[in-house]
Structures are given as C-alpha cells and as structure tokens.
Amino acid sequence: MAAAPSPRAWVFAGRRPAARSAYALAAPAFGLMLLMLIGPLAAVIALSFTDYQLGAPSFAWIGLANYYEMFADRVFWISLKNTLTYVAIVVPGAVALGLGTALLIQSGAGLRSWYRTIYFLPVMATLIAMAIVWEFMLHPQFGLVNGLLRAAGLQGHSWLQDRGTALYALCVIGIWQATGFNMVLFLAGLVSIPKHLYDAADIDGAESAWSRFRLVTWPMLGPVTLFVVTISAIRSFQVFDAVQVLTKGGPSKSSEVLIYTMYTEGFEFFRSGYGAAVTVVFLAFVLLLTLLKSALGNREVHYA
Amino acid sequence: MAEIEIRALRKAFDGGEVLKGVDLTIEDGEFISLVGPSGCGKSTLLRIIAGLEPQSSGEIWIDGSSADGVRPSARNLAMVFQSYALYPHLSVFDNIAVPLRMKRLSALERAPVLGRLLPGRRRTERVIREDVERVADQLEITPLLKRKPGQLSGGQRQRVAVGRAIVRQPRAFLFDEPLSNLDAKLRVHMRTEIAQLHRQLGTTFIYVTHDQAEAMTMSGRIAVMIGGELIQVGAPSAIYEDPRDIRVAEFIGTPKINAFPGRIRGDGRLEVLGHVLHAATSAAAGECRVCVRPERIELSGSGILSGTVVHLENLGSEAFVHIGSEGMNAPVVVRVNDPGLLPAIGASVGYGFVPDAVRAFDAGGKRVATSIASRIERPRGVAVV
C-alpha cells in the first residue's frame, strides 16, 4: 500500500487536469452555442407552456392548454393540411425541375454560365420583391397569365382570389423560386460524377440516354438528391413571404400555412405562448425531416 | 475473336494533333501492348478503337467490317479502365451482370418494378446468374459477389473489372493501364494473371501501358508510340535488341540505354569521345549517337573510356554504377552482376564494350546499321580502339 503509485496510476492521475483544461477550452464555443442556438429553442418550448402575451408584465404556466386549444382549432388543422399540401407539391416539382434543368445545362456545350445565372436569379432576388411581380402577373384583369390565356382563347381566372386556386398558385411560385437553388446543387453533383463511369456504361451497352441516366447519373446523384429533397422540404415548410404579400392566408384560410398562423398569432394577436406552440409543431416536422435524412444517408451513402 | 485493323488514323483535339496517322494490324488472338510515355496518344488510340471517341480521319476495321459509326457496345469489345470504373452503388454481382442485362433484357424488362413482373425476365436472370457465377468462380471472387466496390481492395476491384469484361465474351479486350493503381507487388502478380487469362481465353488483347516492363513481360508484340506516331512494332526482344529509333531505344529498358555522343568518320568507323571504335557503318559521315545498354558495358582497367563513380544503386541481386565521364551530360550507367565487386564512390574506373553491343543512331535519331570492323585483330579485348 505504501508503495509509490505505479506509472499507470500516475498517468491516470495526470489525466484529470488535462480534461479540465479541455473543458475550459471548449467552454466559450459551448457557451455561445447554448446561448445562441439551444437557448432560444428551449425558450420557445418553455414559452409554449405559458399564457405569455407580448408586452405583458407577467405570465402564468398553463401546462398543455395552448396545445389543447391548438388541436381543437379548425384553423390550425387547415393550416397544417395546407402546409403539407404545399410541401407535397413543391418538393417533387422543384426537385424534378431542378434536376431536369441541371441535366439540360450540363449536356449543352455553350452558354452554361448564362443559363446557370438565369435560373439562379429567383433564388437571389428576395421573394417579397418578386411576389409583387407575381401579383401583377396573376392579376385577374391585366395580368400576363390571364392575358396569355385569353389570347389562346381560354378563360382567365382570379388565381389568388379563388379559394380553389390560391394555394396552388403559391405552389407554382414556390417551385419557381426553389428550382434554381436545386439546379445549382444538382449541377455540382453532376460535375463530380467520374467520366469513366459513362465510358464504362457506353461499353457495357447502356446506349440510350435514359439507360445511362438509370445506370450512372441517378444512383451517383443519390446523396445530392437526398440533400436537395430534405432542404426543399424544410424550406417549403417555412413558406411565409409569398403568403404574407399575396394572399394573407386567404381567401377564407384557403392558403393559411403554419408559419403564417404562427406569425398572426404571435405578432398580430400578441399571443406569444400560442404562437410558440405552433412553432413547436413546425420544429417537430423539421426535426423529423432531418432525422429521416441522416437515417437514410447513413444507410444509403457509402460510395468509394 | 477479332482481327483489328487501323488505317491512317488521325485524331486532332483543339490543342493539336494527338495521333498523326497510325497504321496497325492486330492479329486475331494476339496480345499486343501499346507502350509509350504519357501523352503519346496511346490511350486516345484505345478509346477510338473502343468507339468512345471519334477519329478525325482514318478507319478502324474489326473482322473485316468497318467500325466507323458503330456504337461502343455494338463493336462487342470489352474494356478495363485504369480506375476500374465499377459502378459504386451496385454489388460485385450486379457490376458483372450489367453488360449481360443490357444485352439480354429489353428496356421494359429492366424497368425497376414492372420488369420484375414480366415472365421473360426471370428466365433471363437465371441464365445471367449462371454466367456471372461461372466468371466469378474463374476469377476466384465468388465470396465477394455481395459486396460493394467500396469494400474491396484495389486488386479485388481489378478482378471485378476484368470479370465484367470477360462475362460477355467479347471479340477483343482493351486494357487501359489497368495495373497503374496497384502497388508494385500486386502489379507483378497481376501481370502473370492477365497473361494467363490471355492464354486461357485466346482472345485478342490490346494493352495500353506506360510501363515498359509490363509490355515486355506480357505481350507477344509491342507497339511503341511516341508523339502520336507508331515508331516501331515488333516482338519484345526485337524492340529491345534492335530498336529502329533512338526514342525507342531510350524508352525501352531500365535503366535507360547509355547514349554517347559520337561521329561517323569518313572511312565509316564510329568514334566516341575521341576514341575510334571497332565498329563501322556504311552510313554517311557526320554526327551520330552511339548507344550501349547498361548490361553490355563492362568495368575494366583496360577499357578505352574512363570516368569517376558518382552514384551506386545496389539492388541486392545486381547493382548499377553511375559513372561521370568527361564530354557526357548524363552519367553512364553500368550493370554489375556481383554487388560484392562495386567500386567506391569517387573512384576512377575504366569501362568499355564489345563492338556488337553498339546501337548507333544518326543525327535524325534513325538507326544506322553497324558491323564489326575486323581490320585489327585483337585477342578478346573488352573495348577496342
């Protein structure tokens, strides 16, 4: 017992201060992360259990009352259904169009950067500004869309003022905006596909463009596609600006979406607690998508 | 089984001409290597034969019919790429099965879900499975069939790539530097395997490499390409012993052949560094280069040439002595068969060679015939003045 500590014990003893300084060194980054990222998230979740109103001097913990109210509210369910419809239309649309555009640009020889820039424009322009253009284009009387329809002998439509079409008009705008972003990601993915795989496909008898796409392009784009789908879905869940500028969720809640509901509850009716509860639902969907992506990504993507 | 004929083939990229009129006939069942330094156009030539790239002019004939405008797969040639070009998302089995599925299944039968329902597909798939398993057995990769290429070593990927090539029983095999990505030991091993594969299949092999050792050890004939031209085509021993051009002499053989600056005298005798050799030529007088392979030079006090040892390379079984000599830009490399007898660095040594070791090239780099000038009789001199 009285023997000197073995070298092993000494090594372990020496480890403690090292661990302490490691924690000390990680502390600033960890503290900032806590303060800037995890803190606000925790605050939103905490807020959703209160009856806090913006500017109110006090608040009370009301447990799940906000959630009960929300799940009983018809507007919330309409909003959720509209959001899911929007995602279900915009994600496939924007992914397919983005991929198609990228393939066309990649296969052509000239003007590549020109096309790339043009298709990327909607991403760079703020949607608020572009929404004004869309409002003009979709105007029932002097809009470009109805003008074209009339010129073709078809009847025009009050796109944004009709309960049946408002949400779908927003979907079109959403696809229009997201396509360019997806295209850039797909272009990057296409460039990184090794040329020799296409040579091998040629030798192996994949003669049509379609069979080359199926054999090489599509599988090799797998990781990019997964990322593009996730990002498009998250961004579609976040749809807000076009709704705010063009329809304000109307007519009669037909284009009400989650973030817009959150915005009106939180910032127009100042019911911060209730708004926070809607946000938590929104965050749950985003988290679900992220988990789905990483689960799929870990399983599917192990390319040499 | 194919005879491949290349006629006056030219290829120009926007940068310049890569192939400057190549003519070559490859016999049925032959193993021919296209060898040359990187950038000489050998890979381009192979890609044009495969149909992956169009030629600017000239013709390719396969088995007596023109291959121009025929799609790569319709030419029925198989190609093994330097990077193996395996499909990373497919298992080894599926990789090998790709060419068979493309050939034997219709587009509809290949469709992801619908295809499975078609009755013909199941029958064809069974035959394909048998074929793939037979090839896997032949290449001893059966245990790997379920793995993805990412889980294989370089040598295993190489085998899979070869498997994908042989499974469709093509008319000829094209290899594009298939061993360059392997480590040295495996490369030597795979050389033997590819040579054995050729003996077994008896199909035409066209093998592109920049490694002259691969070309020398595996092929029946070597075609040396330099600067977009075929400089010499012949058996490995002929290329080594009887190079027609100084570029061939310098490219084939490691270490490189020693090139001495020399002169053809008015009486036809060759002169090197001021010493008249016992070799003569009928070529016109003028500047020339006298080349001697390292193993044909002997260190000897009685040699006509001398210099200082600047570097030693002892490989265990043999050794190379680098000798710096006056009037020479590069050191002369001499092979010593017994590394126990190496001179010290800095020592002065004499060296020489017998006249029939001499390969002389004129100022344009073309070979000039030499004969032993037998006017002076000497008892077995290593080097003769």
Return the C-alpha torsion angle B34, B256, B385, B243, nearest 10: 0
Q: Which of B50, B79, B150 lies nearest to residue A304, judging by beta carbons?
A: B150
pLDDT value, residue B285: 84
pLDDT value, residue B381: 43
Chain A neighbors of B82, CB-CB under 8 A = 196
B83 and A203: CB-CB below 8 Å? no
Q: Is the pLDDT of residue B63 over 60?
A: yes
Q: Is the pLDDT of residue B384 over 50?
A: no
Chain B neighbors of A213, CB-CB under 8 A = none
DSSP assignment, residue A203?
Answer: H
Full DSSP string of B165-202: HHTT--SEEEEESTTTTS-HHHHHHHHHHHHHHHHHH-
Structure tokens at B34: 């296209």
pLDDT tens figures, B267-294: 888 888 888 888 888 888 888 889 999 9
Q: Is the pLDDT of residue B120 over 80?
A: no
A&B contacts, CB < 8 Å: 74
Helix (H) or strand (E) holding B19: strand B16-26
Residues 6+ apart with CB under 8 A from B93: B132, B136, B145, B146
Q: Is the pLDDT of residue B111 over 90?
A: no
* Residue A17, CB-side half-sphere exposure with 13 Å CA sphere: 4
The residue assigned the tokens 């300084």 is A21
Query: Of B159, B217, B221, B178, whose CA–CA distance to B29 is shortest?
Result: B221
Q: Is the pLDDT of residue A234 over 60?
A: yes
Chain A neighbors of B72, CB-CB under 8 A = 202-203
Mean pLDDT of the residues in chain A: 83
pLDDT value, residue A1: 42
| Residue B71: strand, helix, or coil | coil
Query: Of B36, B82, B50, whose CA–CA distance to B206 is shortest?
Result: B50
Q: Which of B51, B78, B102 lies nearest to residue A206, judging by beta carbons?
A: B102
Rounded distance between C-alpha atoms, residue B319 and residue B321, angstroms: 7
| Residue B305: strand, helix, or coil | strand
pLDDT tens figures, B8-49: 888 888 878 888 888 889 988 899 999 988 888 888 899 999
Q: Is the pLDDT of residue B73 over 80?
A: yes
CA-based nearest distance B99→chain A, Å: 4
Residue type, position B5, single letter: E
Query: Of B215, B221, B250, B224, whose CA–CA distance to B234 is shortest?
Result: B221
Whether B45 contacts B22, CB under 8 Å = yes
Residues 6+ apart with CB under 8 A from A36: none
Q: Is the pLDDT of residue A261 over 60?
A: yes
Q: What is the mean pLDDT of residues A259-271?
A: 83
Structure tokens at B196: 């054995």
Cβ within 8 Å of B, A 199-228: 199-200, 202-208, 210-211, 214-216, 219-220, 222
Residue type, position B84, single letter: Y
CATH of domain A67-300: 1.10.3720.10
CA-based nearest distance A71→chain B, Å: 40
Mean pLDDT of the residues in chain B: 86
What percentage of chain B carries pLDDT values higher than 90?
15
pLDDT value, residue A169: 86
Q: What are the domain boundaries of chain A?
A: 7-47, 67-300
B85 and A220: CB-CB below 8 Å? no
Residue A165: pLDDT band by 50, 70, 90 thresholds? confident
The residue assigned the tokens 């605050």 is A43
Bridge partners (DSSP) of residue B77 are B172
Q: Check whether the bond before B255 is cis (ω within 30° of 0).
A: yes
Q: Is the pLDDT of residue B343 over 50?
A: yes
Task: Using a CB–CB cutoff of 8 Å, tell me whether B99 touches chain A.
Answer: yes
Q: Is the pLDDT of residue B301 over 80?
A: no
A202 and B102: CB-CB below 8 Å? no
Chain A neighbors of B106, CB-CB under 8 A = none
pLDDT value, residue A53: 78
Rounded distance between C-alpha atoms, residue A193 and residue B65, angstroms: 35
Judge residue A52's burial from the number of C-beta atoms within 10 Å of its C-beta, 0-12 exposed, 13-18 middle, 19 or more buried.
buried
Q: Which of A203, A207, A304 lies nearest to residue B88, judging by beta carbons?
A: A304
pLDDT value, residue B337: 87
Full DSSP string of A129-176: HHHHHHHHHT-TTT-HHHHHHHHTT-----TTT-TTTHHHHHHHHHHH
Residue B378: pLDDT band by 50, 70, 90 thresholds? very low
Helix (H) or strand (E) holding B221: strand B221-226
- φ/ψ of B169, rounded to 5, equals 50, 65
Query: Of A242, A277, A99, whose CA–CA distance to A166 is shortest?
Result: A242
Q: What is the mean pLDDT of residues A235-242?
A: 85
Q: Which of A205, A220, A302 lies nearest to residue B103, judging by beta carbons?
A: A205
What percentage of chain A carries pLDDT values higher than 70?
92
| Residue B64: strand, helix, or coil | coil
The residue assigned the tokens 């290593």 is B382
A203 and B88: CB-CB below 8 Å? no
The residue assigned the tokens 């799609």 is B71
Rounded distance between C-alpha atoms, residue B205 and residue B31, angstroms: 5
Q: What is the mean pLDDT of residues B110-114?
A: 74
Rounded distance between C-alpha atoms, residue B166 and residue B30, angstroms: 16
Q: Which of B73, B87, B90 lies nearest to residue A203, judging by beta carbons?
A: B73
Task: Using a CB–CB cutoff of 8 Å, tell me whether B72 touches chain A.
Answer: yes
pLDDT value, residue A8: 52
Residue type, position B238, single letter: A
pLDDT value, residue A76: 84
A202 and B52: CB-CB below 8 Å? yes
Residue B1: pLDDT band by 50, 70, 90 thresholds? low
Residue A300: pLDDT band by 50, 70, 90 thresholds? low
Checking DSSP bridges between strand B348-353 and strand B359-362, what pairing results, if any?
unpaired
DSSP assignment, residue B256?
Answer: P
Q: Is the pLDDT of residue B385 over 60?
A: no
State the ipTM, two decimals: 0.81
Rounded distance between C-alpha atoms, residue A64 and residue A49, angstroms: 6
pLDDT value, residue A15: 56
Q: What is the mean pLDDT of residues A112-139?
A: 82
Q: Which of A200, A302, A304 lies nearest to residue B81, judging by beta carbons?
A: A200
In terms of pLDDT, which residue wins out, B146 or A159?
B146
Helix (H) or strand (E) holding A298: helix A272-300
- φ/ψ of A142, rounded to 5, equals -110, 20
